[in-house]
Amino acid sequence: MSLKIYNTLTRQKEPFVPIKEQEVLMYSCGPTVYNYIHIGNARTFVMADIIRRYLEYSGYKVKFVMNITDIDDKIINEAKDKDLDFSDVTQLYTEGFFEDIAKLGMRMPDAVPRVTEHLDEIINLVQTLILKGYAYESEGSVYYDVGKFAGYGKLSGKNIDDLMSGARVEVNEKKKSPLDFVLWKAVKPGEPSWESLWGNGRPGWHIECSAMCMNHLADQIDIHCGGSDLVFPHHENEIAQSEAATGKLFSKYWIHCGFLNIDNEKMSKSLGNFWLARDVLKKFRPEAVRIFFLQKHYASPLSYSEDNLRDAENAHKRLEMIFNKVQQALDLKETLGGSVGTVAINPDVEQFSKDLDRLEKEFHEAMDDDFNTAAAMGKIFEIFNGLSKITSPKLLNDFSLYVLKRTRDLILEWNEFLGFLNLSKPENVSKKYEKIVDLLLDIRMDLRKRKEWTLSDKIRDGLNEIGIAIEDSPDGTKWKLK
- Interface of this chain with RNA, residues 260 to 299, rule: CB under 7 A: 260-261, 264-270, 295-297
Tell me how crowded residue 169 is: count the other CB atoms within 10 A of its CB.
15
43 near RNA, judged by CB under 7 A: yes
Nearer to RNA, 83 or 170 (CB): 170
Residue from 300, 324, 328, 351 that binds RNA (CB under 7 A)?
A: 300
**Closest separation in Å from C-beta 273 to RNA:** 9
232 near RNA, judged by CB under 7 A: yes
Nearer to RNA, 105 or 233 (CB): 233
Count the site residues for RNA by CB under 7 A. 83
Q: Are 129 and 180 in contact (CB under 8 A)?
A: no
Q: Are 141 and 174 in contact (CB under 8 A)?
A: yes
**Closest separation in Å from C-beta 337 to RNA:** 27
Nearer to RNA, 168 or 432 (CB): 168
**Closest separation in Å from C-beta 364 to RNA:** 14
Strand partners, 438: none
65 near RNA, judged by CB under 7 A: no
188 near RNA, judged by CB under 7 A: no
Residue from 132, 188, 318, 435 that binds RNA (CB under 7 A)?
A: 318
118 near RNA, judged by CB under 7 A: no
317 near RNA, judged by CB under 7 A: yes
Q: What is the 3-state secondary structure (H, E, C) of 24-92?
A: EEEEECCCECCCCCEHHHHHHHHHHHHHHHHHHHCCCEEEEEECEECCCHHHHHHHHHHCCCHHHHHHH
Nearer to RNA, 51 or 322 (CB): 322
**Closest separation in Å from C-beta 198 to RNA:** 21
Q: Are 379 and 366 in contact (CB under 8 A)?
A: yes
Q: List the interface residues with RNA, window 427-466 (CB under 7 A).
A: 448, 453, 456-457, 460
Measured CA to CA, the distance from residue 231 to residue 236 in angstroms comes to 6
**Closest separation in Å from C-beta 236 to RNA:** 9
Residue from 385, 402, 436, 462 that binds RNA (CB under 7 A)?
A: 385
**Closest separation in Å from C-beta 203 to RNA:** 12
**Closest separation in Å from C-beta 395 to RNA:** 12
74 near RNA, judged by CB under 7 A: yes
Burial of 191 (0-12, 13-18, 19+ CB in 10 A): middle
230 near RNA, judged by CB under 7 A: yes
Q: List the interface residues with RNA, window 138-167 (CB under 7 A).
A: 156-158, 162-163, 166-167
Nearer to RNA, 244 or 302 (CB): 302
407 near RNA, judged by CB under 7 A: no
Q: List the interface residues with RNA, window 364-383 (CB under 7 A).
A: 366, 369, 372, 374-375, 377-378, 381-382
Q: How long is the chain?
A: 482
Nearer to RNA, 108 or 197 (CB): 108
Nearer to RNA, 40 or 105 (CB): 40
173 near RNA, judged by CB under 7 A: no
**Closest separation in Å from C-beta 305 to RNA:** 7
Among the residue ranges 15-23, 112-120, 142-150, 232-240, the one whose residues contact RNA (CB under 7 A): 232-240
**Closest separation in Å from C-beta 188 to RNA:** 16
Residue from 84, 169, 340, 463 that binds RNA (CB under 7 A)?
A: 169
Among the residue ranges 53-61, 131-139, 143-151, 315-323, the one whose residues contact RNA (CB under 7 A): 315-323
**Closest separation in Å from C-beta 417 to RNA:** 18
Among the residue ranges 81-89, 411-419, 420-428, 470-478, the one whose residues contact RNA (CB under 7 A): 470-478
Q: Are strands 135-138 and 61-66 parallel, antiparallel or unpaired?
A: unpaired
406 near RNA, judged by CB under 7 A: no
Residue from 105, 227, 286, 419 that binds RNA (CB under 7 A)?
A: 227
**Closest separation in Å from C-beta 164 to RNA:** 9
User: Taking Cα atoms as reference points, which of 202, 38, 194, 90 lies closest to residue 82?
Assistant: 90
40 near RNA, judged by CB under 7 A: yes
